[in-house]
Chains A and B, each alone.
Chain A
Amino acid sequence: MTTATRTTDTGRTVGPRARTTGVRLTAAVTGRVLRQLRHDPRTIAMMVVLPSILLGLLYLLWKDLPTLPGQPSTFDRVGLTMLGVFPFVVMFLVTSIAMLRERTTGTLERLLTTPLARLDLLLGYGLAFGLAAAVQAVVTVAVATTFYDLDVAGSLWLVVVIAVVDAVLGVALGLLASAFARSEFQAVQFMPVVVLPQFFLCGLLVPREQMAGWLQAISDVLPLTYAVEALQEVGRSAAGTGTLWRDVGVVAAVALLALALGAATLRRRSG
């Protein structure tokens, strides 16, 4: 009957009843986050429309440049991978700010006194922004294939799936990054720290085979590398290849790992 200096709390005991409670609580968080979004139509509009506009800019940039015979056009190559980069970047930013707000306004401390388990909270966020990312991906893919002549050999639904997994990765890393930010200024600046190195080394600017060995080694452990490779696979071949599913699995696994680490940074007790 003591509250010792450091109380460990692993949350609920695991059992069938506890798990239904967890699903209910996760759904409550997802609903709440989506309701918050609904009150912010400008953010929704930017989430849904902005990637299409940026992609259009890339399309116009490369439209009249010649392509080597037998090679995919630059836009087909880069534009497709952007469909994975946009949701990752946008969801990283949105989530890290949203979570930082929870910390600074005291709602997080309050949530930690309720039956909500820490993982329920993080999964709730992941689900809400994953759904938003799905809408974003469907719109962007539709616009890109209709208006920008984006040529994809594989299934467009696979592109959407990869985009959603990338978004969830962004959410998970955003939740984790918010633990290290004390202000919104800092949170925003985590974006270049987390996103740009992954973008530089993912194989889009320089093919991975041509990188210096140590750069390639870094590239090997960055999740965006696998997201981009998965999209390149869909662009190249009609059937879902083994490489593609392995890549999607890697991205999903890193997202789950980041969520678990994020849960560990949410201490119920603070100083």
Chain B
Amino acid sequence: MDAAVTVTDLVIDRGRRRVLDGLSCAVPRGEVTGLLGPSGSGKTTLLRAIVGVQRTRSGQVTVLGCPAGAPPLRTRVGYVTQAPSVYADLTVRENARFFAALYGRGAREADTAIADVGLADAAGQLVADLSGGQMSRASLACALVGRPELLVLDEPTVGLDPVLRAELWDRFHALAAEGTTLIVSSHVMDEAGRCDRLLLLREGALLADSTPTELRARTGTDDLDEAFLTLVRSQPGVAA
């Protein structure tokens, strides 16, 4: 089966800085792929290129068989930005219903998406009155509501308590089991173990494209944080 996302020789400059330098990778369908790396490694830029809002210098990004950002993809790809991008002066329900309308869905799908992120009790509250964690879940609900085939999530679990984080990861795997492809970025290595596949990014280059099990075996450690450090140190020219 072909990959959900194929990136070939992608080069992206932001300002005068080269953020991604000839990156190639593939994201399999129906799995949770983690995009991990330190802050500033180019994770958000790569995600923006996949959803088609990032200007690229060269290279190709193919998403579900179309060039990234092509009009047919706009109903099939959901994107949740790092900062919660919902309307603070609307309630959770009004936000979800607005995005539902954009994807051609109804009020019922909106309510389901709200319940799925555990915000059913806060549905009538203004987003401005929510806690940070609730806000990012409201933002997630507005992407789930479109029932996309590919869900691109930029650091969705930042600021969440451990219980909620575990619940969301269960939700991600449930979606994957139904056939949804998920790309989830994080800079916390302890979330790497929850992914089916891992893309490790550092300074705009791919450090590893692997599974958590393979990575542990290759670096000879159970701790993925440690594994990441081992990979960095094994790179030529890195004095870490």
Residues A28 and B101 in contact in the complex (CB < 8 Å), given A39-B90, A269-B69? yes
Measured CB to CB, the closest approach of chain A to B66, in angstroms, equals 8
Measured CB to CB, the closest approach of chain A to B190, in angstroms, equals 27
Residue in A12, A28, A111 whose Cβ sees the most chain B Cβ within 10 Å: A28
Interface size on B, residues (CB 8 A): 43
- A9 close to chain B: CB less than 8 A: yes
- B107 close to chain A: CB less than 8 A: no
Residues A3 and B102 in contact in the complex (CB < 8 Å), given A32-B90, A113-B74, A268-B52? no
Complex CA gap A28/B97 in Å reads 9
Question: Interface 1/0s, chain B 89-105, versus A by CB < 8 A?
Answer: 11000100011011110
Specify which of B53, B62, B88, B102 is in contact with A105 (CB 8 Å cutoff).
B88
B101→A268 contact, CB < 8 A: no
- B60 close to chain A: CB less than 8 A: yes
Complex CA gap A105/B104 in Å reads 24
- A45 close to chain B: CB less than 8 A: no
B61→A3 contact, CB < 8 A: yes
Measured CB to CB, the closest approach of chain A to B162, in angstroms, equals 26
B54→A269 contact, CB < 8 A: yes
* Total of A-B residue pairs, C-beta within 8 Å: 105
- A107 close to chain B: CB less than 8 A: yes
B104→A115 contact, CB < 8 A: yes
- B201 close to chain A: CB less than 8 A: no
- A110 close to chain B: CB less than 8 A: yes
Complex CA gap A268/B54 in Å reads 8
Contacts of B74 in A (CB 8 A): 113-115
Question: Interface 1/0s, chain B 59-70, versus A by CB < 8 A?
Answer: 111100011110
Contacts of B75 in A (CB 8 A): 114-115
A12→B71 contact, CB < 8 A: yes
Specify which of A11, A21, A24, A106 is in contact with B83 (CB 8 Å cutoff).
A106
Q: Nearest A residue to B86 by beta-carbon distance?
A: A107
Question: Interface 1/0s, chain A 1-31, versus B by CB < 8 A?
Answer: 1110111010111000000010011001001
Q: Is the interface of B mostly helix, strand, loop or mixed?
A: mixed
- B15 close to chain A: CB less than 8 A: yes
- A271 close to chain B: CB less than 8 A: yes
Interface size on A, residues (CB 8 A): 35
A32→B71 contact, CB < 8 A: no
- B169 close to chain A: CB less than 8 A: no
Contacts of A111 in B (CB 8 A): 102
Measured CB to CB, the closest approach of chain B to A250, in angstroms, equals 34
- A229 close to chain B: CB less than 8 A: no
Question: Interface 1/0s, chain A 248-271, versus B by CB < 8 A?
Answer: 000000000000000000001111
Can you list 14 A-B contacts with CB-CB less than 8 angstroms, sorted by A residue number? A2-B67, A3-B52, A3-B56, A13-B71, A28-B101, A31-B98, A39-B89, A40-B89, A105-B83, A106-B83, A109-B81, A114-B75, A115-B104, A269-B52
Given contacts A25-B102, A28-B101, 4 further A-B contacts (CB under 8 A): A3-B69, A111-B102, A114-B99, A270-B54
Which are the 9 A-B pairs with shortest beta-carbon distances? A106-B85, A28-B101, A269-B55, A32-B98, A114-B102, A115-B74, A110-B85, A2-B60, A113-B79
| Partner-A contacts on B (CB < 8 A) | 13-15, 49, 51-62, 66-69, 71, 74-75, 77, 79, 81, 83, 85-90, 94, 98-99, 101-104, 126, 142, 146
| Partner-B contacts on A (CB < 8 A) | 1-3, 5-7, 9, 11-13, 21, 24-25, 28, 31-32, 35-36, 39-40, 105-107, 109-116, 268-271
